[in-house]
Amino acid sequence: MSRTDIDPTFAALPHRALAEVALGRARELGVSHADFRFERVRHQYLAVRDGALQGATDAEDLGFAVRVIHRGAWGFASGVVLTADEARRVAEAAVAVAEVASAMTSTPVELAPEPVHDDVTWVSSYAVDPLEVPTADKVGVLVEWTDRLTRHAAVEHASASLYQVHENKFYADLDGTRTTQQRIRMQPAFEAMGSNRDTGAFDSMASIAPPVGRGWEYVSESGWDWDAELAEVPELLAEKLAAPSVEAGSYDLVIHPSNLWLTIHESIGHATELDRALGYEANYAGTSFATYDKLGKLVYGSPVMNVTGDRTVEHGLATTGYDDEGVETQAWDIVRDGVLVGYQLDRSMGHMKPELNSTDGRGRSNGCAYADSPGHVPIQRMANVSLLPAPDGPTTEDLIADVERGLYVVGDKSWSIDMQRFNFQFTGQRFHRIEDGRLVGQVRDAAYQATTTDFWGSMEAVGGPDTWMLHGAFNCGKAQPGQTAAVSHGCPSALFRGVRILNTTDEAGH
């Protein structure tokens, strides 16, 4: 059963009183908008190698921020001293920043309208807060994982880790919105390493279990078959160490969700952030080829390609009830039948482009504002951007059976993409050869390379709902100063025709 309670130690903090002081002072100073955000983010990271604990880190980020629009410009300031005097000072500092910025602001900032959400609460879907589980118990699980892996002859070393986050956030603004939220997320992982003494090859094989917006039950009870994967990974590593190097050329690919999610993230997720498409954001890998003039015109992929942005999907890492501008989260289309039809945006961009998410002829945000700490200003951040399955689509086995010469790609590894999100290459944990519809062993040193539109245009079929999985990452970076956010990407297995495969060892020598 999912928890619905807000941590009482957070509820006891003086966020409401500080909000009243800060917002009241901002109002006195004549701002056109002000919001207050109070956060406590608790992190724990555990790392084990070869049966021994290597590190245990606990951290807490606690503070508040005030953001204003004054004289048509943004102002922002934050603090960590939880007193009324500090709340008043931070509000004054935010207004002072806006006064300076107003002289450099050519287009006044305006926000799309948003309904008032009066004192609402939202808690993510989880049963057991992992930070309430004794650290020794969690370390014991990780130690057992590495012990099981190293029993296999192919495994020389094994590591395991667990990253846990408990995030509380209170938001208030001058319009009257008040939201209190709590999110839990976890990233368990393990990896086996080995070498082939005959060839000198060294390699690894990692778990493909996704990070999730769930609690400790993900490890202890349900959600992933850890026993099966712990038994399978050493065998897969042994096979990979003995595998031949791939022959470069054109192949049909069947790509598992554990690999395809990252291609979605890099070539669709970042490319359809509206600030990048408008040229307002260029840090952390540039702008976007999917510029705003291409909306409704750009053929992003084949007709079987349907992609949504979704801040509501259960257990998603970017799932929340309300964003950092008080907007109730939503789901919407980004690509429909292969054509670009939407972007990810916040309230200021919703005002600028009202046709994107219209309410009574006025624009609206789709709930994509987020700051990773009380010390950072909210920016447009990625939703759970997902490729939809075909309602009556094939199984993964059916997709493989439809390939004469190809590769089945499982698990993510390294990637590279250009500053326009257009030219890319991706590797994977493992590449299984497909011959006449059957898997016939692994190959090494493979990467697939394409342009974004050619790759998604080559997608002939997507799997059915039973092949769909929610994967993702804790460490999506954006902005300057840099911010980190967690995001999930759901997708089914999918079949791509005629994709270029590189031999990475040969390429490294060029």
Query: What pLDDT was estimated at residue 213?
Result: 98
Task: Among 3.20.20.70, 3.90.1150.10, 3.30.2290.10, 3.40.50.720, name the CATH number for the domain at 8-228.
Answer: 3.30.2290.10
- The model's pTM is 0.97
Query: What pLDDT was estimated at residue 510?
Result: 58
Q: Which of 272, 253, 192, 173 is nearest to 487 (CA)?
A: 272
3-state secondary structure string, 401-436? HCCCEEEEEECCCCEEECCCCCEEEECCCEEEEEEC
Contacts of 100 (CB under 8 A, 6+ apart): none
CA 168 to chain CA centroid, Å, is: 18
For residue 143, the SS3 value is helix
Instruction: State the residue for tokens 């994107």.
Output: 356
Q: Tell me, what DSSP letter sits at residue 269?
A: I
> What are the structural domain ranges in the chain?
8-228, 249-508
Query: What pLDDT was estimated at residue 492?
Result: 98
CA contacts within 13 A on the Cβ side of 201: 19
3-state secondary structure string, 106-123? CCCCCCCCCCCCCCEEEE
Contacts of 261 (CB under 8 A, 6+ apart): 210, 412, 471, 472, 488, 489, 490, 491
In this structure, the chain runs to a length of 510
Query: What pLDDT was estimated at residue 284?
Result: 78
The tens digit of pLDDT for each residue in 382-421 reads 999 999 999 999 999 999 999 999 999 999 999 999 999 9
Distances, alpha carbon 105 to alpha carbons 76, 99, 234, 274, in Å: 15, 10, 58, 20
Q: What is the helix (H) or strand (E) element at residue 204, kind and residue range?
A: strand 201-206
Encoding tokens for residue 91? 């509000």
Amino acid at 320: T
What are 138-141's contacts with CB under 8 Å, separation 24+? Answer: 138/46, 138/162, 138/216, 139/46, 139/48, 139/53, 139/56, 141/219
On whether the CB atoms of residues 99 and 77 are closer than 8 A, the answer is no
- How far is 254 from 220, CA to CA, in rounded Å? 32
- How far is 326 from 8, CA to CA, in rounded Å? 22
The tens digit of pLDDT for each residue in 4-21 reads 899 999 999 999 999 999
Residue ranges in the chain whose pLDDT is less than 50: none
- How far is 161 from 175, CA to CA, in rounded Å? 43
Contacts of 360 (CB under 8 A, 6+ apart): none
**Cβ atoms within 10 Å, residue 278:** 17
Query: What pLDDT was estimated at residue 433?
Result: 98
Distances, alpha carbon 237 to alpha carbons 159, 241, 409, 427, 448, in Å: 14, 6, 15, 16, 21
